[in-house]
Amino acid sequence: MSQTHLLSDTIARIRNAQLVKKEYTVVYYSKKIESVLKVLLREGYISKIETFEERKGVLKIKVYLKYEGKDGVPVISEMKIISKPGKKVFRPYRELTKVYNGLGIIILSTSKGIITDNEARDIKAGGEVLCSIF
């Protein structure tokens, strides 16, 4: 199956799975998606990721979602795509704004890899702004 924008598809799958309080969701595999999910894992927005082979030559990633409290409120309350296939958004590190005064993160694709906005400011690297998470 051909996907035009795997990151949008991944974010939509995570958002939809959280709405019905699923334990995990399955997304298409790409190196970029795996790197973004590793950033989310490192920052504590998801609990675990597993890569598996659905059938010969077709890899997928199982994303285990994270909830908090007795009510099971999702840790991720807002996810937005910023760069889209028709409009790529690039920013130098000085122009990166904080998401909700630093409570959220922006994920960037830089020459140093896929990192958060805080890491980009530390290493003074700008790049393509992929998405924002809160």
Are 71 and 85 members of one domain? no
Q: What is the pLDDT of residue 1?
A: 47
Q: What is the pLDDT of residue 4?
A: 72
Domain that holds residue 7: 1-75
CATH of residue 71's domain is 3.30.1370.30
Burial 38-59 (b: 16+ CB within 10 A, else e): ebbbeeebbeebeeeeeeeeee
Are 57 and 16 members of one domain? yes
Q: What is the pLDDT of residue 89?
A: 97
Which pLDDT band holds residue 64 (cuts at 50, 70, 90)?
Answer: very high
**Looking at the 3D structure of the chain, how many domains does it have?**
2
- Mean pLDDT over residues 21-26, rounded? 97
| Domain's final residue, options 34, 52, 75 | 75
- Which pTM does this prediction carry? 0.92
- Mean pLDDT over residues 65-87, rounded? 94
For 40-51, how does the pLDDT look when each residue is reduced to its tens digit (9 = 90+)?
A: 999 999 999 999
